[in-house]
Structure 1
Amino acid sequence: MSTLHPHSLHNMIAQDSAAIGELKSLLLRERELLEQRDHSELPAIIERKDQLLETLGLNAKQRASLLKAAGFKASPEQWEIFLGQNAATRDLLESWRTLMAEFAQCKSLNEINGKMIGRSKQTLGQLLNLLRGQVAAPQLYTSAGSTTSSASSHCIAEA
């Protein structure tokens, strides 16, 4: 604990909490924009998310080196143990747990947004194929139970 004082640890957690809170707001705004198919603000949101993730990454590296110096493995669980072993840092445990819960929410929001982006890309690809006159053959089941997408699957009869 000699490399950082409890006040510094509190500031680090507070900085991470502020970054996570802003990241959560950005992810919610990003979802709104994706739902509305309004991409005008997305570049600014992506840039700010990158900045926040960089800040969070730097603090995570700092925590990891602090943990290693104290003989712990670098993980959120070990950080909790580290904070709990010293009376001066025990009051940070609740803030740390709240931070981890908010981080999990951000991860979930990001996964949802990623799925929305994936679906939008798929739909856009299908629309572009239609405009190009390239219609993908549907996936149909054969008598053996496997799928086929060949154009011959559209045949009703063969001569």
Structure 2
Amino acid sequence: MSVNPQLVREMLARDQQAAEQLLTLLQQESEILKQRDHEALATLVEAKSEYINILEAHAGERTALLKSLSLPADSNGWLSYMQNQTELTPMISAWEELQQTLAHCKKRNEINGKLIGRSQQTLKRLVNLIKGKTESSELYNAKGGTTNSSLSNTVVKA
């Protein structure tokens, strides 16, 4: 089974453009997370979804084709398919470039995830301080054993 080389070329170009836009948005998201601008973050998430949907739709098309040919439905399967189709071999470099851009997106997304995790921890600590709760710590009791103790001092008492 063969695919239209022009269609593949267009799909790769659209995927590359979507991946580059997504990477730009992920970089912007990183700055927004550092600034804690939650309103801008909501708008950005919607924009990211548009590009993710494009990439997922094309990945689904590639997966369906590869499964119909009993090939592995992953990037290596697609690369193997392209290598075996003489009309598609000139596009292998575009495929590899797309894979690199997607790898950059993944790395940036992981960094943003860590930023979000840190923000959540900070927020949790602040809320606990306002509520007068502290993280529990182990203390020795009168018998020499350890006990978990969470002292509670409200902001009013402090």
Q: In the aligned structure 2, how far is the partner of 1:9 from the partner of 1:152?
A: 61
Deviation, 1:67, is: 1.3
Q: Equivalent residues in 2 for 1:9-158 (5 A)?
A: 9-138=8-137, 150-151=148-149
Q: In the aligned structure 2, how far is the partner of 1:53 from the partner of 1:150?
A: 46
- Counting matched residue pairs gives 146
Residues 152 and 42 of structure 1: CA distance in aligned 2, closer, same or farther (over 3 Å): closer
* Unmatched tracts of structure 2, length 5 or more: 141-145, 152-158
Deviation, 1:152, is: 8.2
Deviation, 1:149, is: 7.0
Residues 15 and 58 of structure 1: CA distance in aligned 2, closer, same or farther (over 3 Å): same
Q: In the aligned structure 1, how far is the partner of 2:53 from the partner of 2:78?
A: 20
TM-score when normalising by structure 1: 0.84
Matching residue of 2:154: none
The answer to whether the 8 Å contact 1:26/1:45 transfers is yes
* Unmatched tracts of structure 1, length 5 or more: 143-147, 154-159
Q: In the aligned structure 1, how far is the partner of 2:150 from the partner of 2:28?
A: 46
Matching residue of 2:156: none
Q: In the aligned structure 1, how far is the partner of 2:135 from the partner of 2:150?
A: 13
Q: In the aligned structure 2, how far is the partner of 1:46 from the partner of 1:141?
A: 45
Provide the secondary structure at the position in 1 that maps to 2:134.
coil
For residues 75-108 of structure 1, what are the alpha-carbon distances to aligned partners after superposition, in whole Å with 9 as ceiling and x for unaligned? Answer: 1001001111122111110000011011111001
* Partner AA of 1:63 in structure 2: R
Q: In the aligned structure 2, how far is the partner of 1:72 from the partner of 1:28?
A: 35
* Partner AA of 2:30 in structure 1: R
Deviation, 1:69, is: 2.3
TM-score when normalising by structure 2: 0.85
Comparing 47-56 and 18-27, the one that deviates more:
47-56
Query: Identity rate of aligned residues, in percent?
Result: 36
* Partner AA of 2:84 in structure 1: Q
The answer to whether the 8 Å contact 2:26/2:109 transfers is yes
* Partner AA of 1:150 in structure 2: N
Residues 152 and 61 of structure 1: CA distance in aligned 2, closer, same or farther (over 3 Å): closer
Deviation, 1:53, is: 1.2
